[in-house]
Structure 1
Amino acid sequence: MWIAIAAVLAIAAAATTWAVAGRDDPPAGSSAATPTSTVSEPPVEERMLAGAGAILKTRAAAVLTGRLSQYLQYVDPANKKLRERDQQVFANLRKLGLSRLSYQVDANWAPEVQAQHGPSARAVRVLMLIQIAGIDAAPRATGLGYTFAERDGRWLLVDDDDLAAEADLKAYREPWDLGAIEVARRPGVLVVVPAGERGNAERLARESQAAIPIVRSTTRRVPAGILVIAMADNRSMDPEWRTGGHPAAAVAAHNFAPANPEASEFKVVGSRVVINPGQRTRSGRLLLAHEFTHAAMGQLGNSAPTWLVEGFAMYVENRLAAQNGYEQELAAERRTLLREKISALVVLPIDGVFHGDYDEDSYGVSWIIVEYLVTKYGQAAVNSLYADLARGPDAPAVREQVLRKHLKSSETALVAALKKYDGPN
């Protein structure tokens, strides 16, 4: 998600020179020398960075204290559309209930000249670090493209969509950038929907709370909270969030934050769940339990095999389904999978062809594998196995070693045991 492009800014120190008159009176007939000064003006980019830093600090403080006039203070008065967008963003951010907000110019991206806004105008990448109270354990970063220009000795924010290098801004947008929003809160849950869909927000909040207990009891992990995004605008879903060749119904998207002051490296600090716009009014507790499981396990690392990542989430989802009266349907599905898929298993599902080998049954096959592991070895052992595999590295020899460590079994022996499995006791 984050590609750093090194930017080298030439910073020239300001130099001052003085022509100083002698102490003695000047010779007759000559004029007295007058002290003069010439100050070399700092380069445009240096001035822009200083001006942008002050503007961004002011805007962050304005959001946290609820001062719209301060937020708009340095927005170009001539750009009415920008001011209207900013006013809506401000209102949306206030609804989220933020505990922390800051902005910083990303020094890893070179400023881009934007002559259409004047000779001093530069577009820069800005990292917005945002933390929702009661939801995020740490601020997460999201990218912005801001253009700053000097007008009458005063730096202003003049546009927000000029940065050519920010292709990701056209593919995915944060919910507060997509028009007016409404939110619904429950302990540990914040649901964001478009304005006018309050009823769906409340429904999703209730469904989220119904899903959380089984996720926590199975994963043994308790995230601070979860943000659920259910917008109507397709830009709320990244086009790359796909599964089996088609757009995902929902995704647990990682939250990233700078791992160093230079923001040249990033680390995972949590997740948010984004529901496909086409599924937002139909999604319920089972889908949410699946994605919440991904969110809970995501910080462990990304090297676990796909069959374990998806199988674990399916296991949690189906446990909740059983609690909600779907035991017979699950039993029928289990019998079919055991008879038609598990009996033909040769190796554990392979990452690169996870969907290709079993098509939509890949998830079911993975569920059976995890259900068997929990039945045979216990939940704690499976959780430990997951944690070790997630840390990586992602290599067949390492995975085999971890299987032997936690299960006292090789992959070959595990596949053979799966073929004898006939369901939980």
Structure 2
Amino acid sequence: MLAVGAGAVAWSVVGRQDTSAAMGEVRASSAPSATASAPPAEDRLHAQVDAVLKVRASAVLAGKLPQFLATVDPRNKKLRQQQQVLFGNLRKIGLRKLTYEREPKWAPEPQPQHGPSAHAFRVQMMVQIAGIDPAPRAVQLGYTFVERGGRLLLVDDDDLNGSYGRGTYLEPWDLGAIEAIRKPGVLVVVPAGERANGERLAREARAAAPGVRAATRRAQAAILVIAMADRRSMDPEWQSGGHPAAAVAAYNLAPIAEDPRDMKVVGSRVVIHPDQRKKAGRLLLAHEFTHAAMAPLGFSAPTWLVEGLAMYAEMQLAEQRGYDVSEPRDELLDEAIPQLDVLPIDGVFHGEYDEDSYGVSWILVEFLMDKYGQKKVNALYADLAQAPEDPTLREQLLRKHLKLSETAFVAAVKKYDGPS
């Protein structure tokens, strides 16, 4: 049942650096290079790039492959094949909105390996999946264009991948041909040829969603589930206890209008580790859907509460499905909880309690639900999620909502013997 809520962002962000990091408003860590007023030749190049980007977006939305490929170097057969697959994938996913926007504060970067006129541009892809995303999210790209015969042509789409904080994972539409399975409230993306697994995951996702709503009284109206075979679909930094996470709730980010480097959370998607894609079921999905549901509240809630609530939703669903959770509960109450001196600490969540950190956090949240009720737990979560990560302030919020200090809270949990 090991799973983790991860802040998967396109740019490096300021915020908690563990696997529950980076929700809310975030800023790209890279600073733009200084730009003076552009010379006429550069202005003309910018205008050409903007026009090509507009053509590419409109071609995808209209389903016009020849128009899309007309912007791609006809001499580069490999790139054209990749771009044709990309076009097909985006059409299969089904988009409501798509734009490609050149980053205006970055000067073109020469790429002489493609010819003397070749320049790379930083491009922000704003993509909104129909019926899934509440708003467009940002995907950072690097496109290299060359002027040939009076036309501007795309000659490469990864020259900038290693030069700025794009992230070390790829979008599913960039990983070869896909299958897209759409059901009410969920879209599952899997590799071509794995439709049966996609259908299975869609059923499991739909079975998980009601349990998340019951446990949290919150849920995304719809969600994207990615289960690709290619390991590049997962960021190596998405880990749990030093091991690759089985799945992550990756936050969708969009720029704030005033500054495209400022980002805010506009939703989430769930990415399943390639090794787990054919094993993952409703319990793992319920865990990640809980992270996705709570993400809009903020990113400062303590890890024990973030993971504990996800574990609570997972265990509630397990019990509803006929699993006996009394044995793991009793084991935690007998062995791990008596050792509890303080609440699990964010930066060393796996420290003193090792893998029992998730189980201990489950018991903490189950105790709160049993004694105080869901409404009060949600109110505590909301306040903690929006507050600075300050121990004194967290103590004040515990006292406000629970009428307990952390010490008294821990002492009360030690007397807990299970739900009433």
Q: Structure 1 length normalisation: TM-score?
A: 0.90
Question: What's the offset of the Cα at 1:268?
Answer: 0.6
The secondary structure found in structure 2 opposite 1:263 is strand
Q: Does 1:373 align with 2:368?
A: yes
1:360 is matched with 355
Q: Does 1:121 align with 2:118?
A: yes
- Work out whether residues 59 and 70 of structure 1, in 8 Å CA contact, stay in contact via their aligned partners in 2: yes
Q: Does 1:320 align with 2:312?
A: no
Structure 2 letter corresponding to 1:367: W
- Work out whether residues 175 and 229 of structure 1, in 8 Å CA contact, stay in contact via their aligned partners in 2: yes
2: distance between equivalents of 1:273 and 1:164? 23
Cα-to-partner distance string for 1:136-161 (whole Å, 9 max, x where unaligned): 00001111110012112221111112
CA distance 1:209–1:12, change in 2 (3 Å): closer
Structure 1 letter corresponding to 2:311: M
Question: What's the offset of the Cα at 1:126?
Answer: 0.8
Structure 2 letter corresponding to 1:296: A
Q: 1:414 aligns with which of 391, 394, 409?
A: 409
1:297 is matched with 294
Segment drifting more, 253-262 vs 356-365: 253-262
The secondary structure found in structure 2 opposite 1:352 is helix
State the percentage of identical aligned residues: 65
2:328 is matched with 333
1: distance between equivalents of 2:133 and 2:57? 18
Instruction: Count matched residues.
Output: 394
2:283 is matched with 286
- Work out whether residues 111 and 124 of structure 1, in 8 Å CA contact, stay in contact via their aligned partners in 2: yes
Q: Does 1:248 align with 2:245?
A: yes
Question: What's the offset of the Cα at 1:312?
Answer: 0.3
Question: What's the offset of the Cα at 1:261?
Answer: 4.8
1:37 is matched with none
Question: What's the offset of the Cα at 1:105?
Answer: 1.0
Cα-to-partner distance string for 1:326-374 (whole Å, 9 max, x where unaligned): 12xx111111111111111111111111101111111000000000000
Q: Does 1:70 align with 2:67?
A: yes
CA distance 1:217–1:58, change in 2 (3 Å): same
Structure 1 letter corresponding to 2:390: A
2: distance between equivalents of 1:133 and 1:376? 41
**Matched ranges for 1:5-404 at <5 A:** 5-12=31-38, 42-43=40-41, 45-163=42-160, 165-166=162-163, 171-327=168-324, 330-404=325-399
- Work out whether residues 211 and 320 of structure 1, in 8 Å CA contact, stay in contact via their aligned partners in 2: yes
Question: What's the offset of the Cα at 1:108?
Answer: 4.3
CA distance 1:219–1:116, change in 2 (3 Å): same
2: distance between equivalents of 1:263 and 1:168? 14
2:24 is matched with none
Question: What's the offset of the Cα at 1:222?
Answer: 3.2
- Work out whether residues 145 and 166 of structure 1, in 8 Å CA contact, stay in contact via their aligned partners in 2: no
The secondary structure found in structure 1 opposite 2:315 is helix
Question: What's the offset of the Cα at 1:10?
Answer: 3.5
Instruction: Structure 2: state its 5+ residue gaps.
Output: 1-8, 12-27
Q: Structure 2 length normalisation: TM-score?
A: 0.91
- Work out whether residues 6 and 110 of structure 1, in 8 Å CA contact, stay in contact via their aligned partners in 2: no
Question: What's the offset of the Cα at 1:214?
Answer: 1.0
Question: What's the offset of the Cα at 1:11?
Answer: 3.1
Instruction: Structure 1: state its 5+ residue gaps.
Output: 14-41
2:23 is matched with none
Relative contact order higher in (CA < 8 Å, ≥ 6 apart):
2
Structure 1 letter corresponding to 2:242: G
2: distance between equivalents of 1:332 and 1:97? 45
- Work out whether residues 250 and 270 of structure 2, in 8 Å CA contact, stay in contact via their aligned partners in 1: yes
Larger Rg: 1
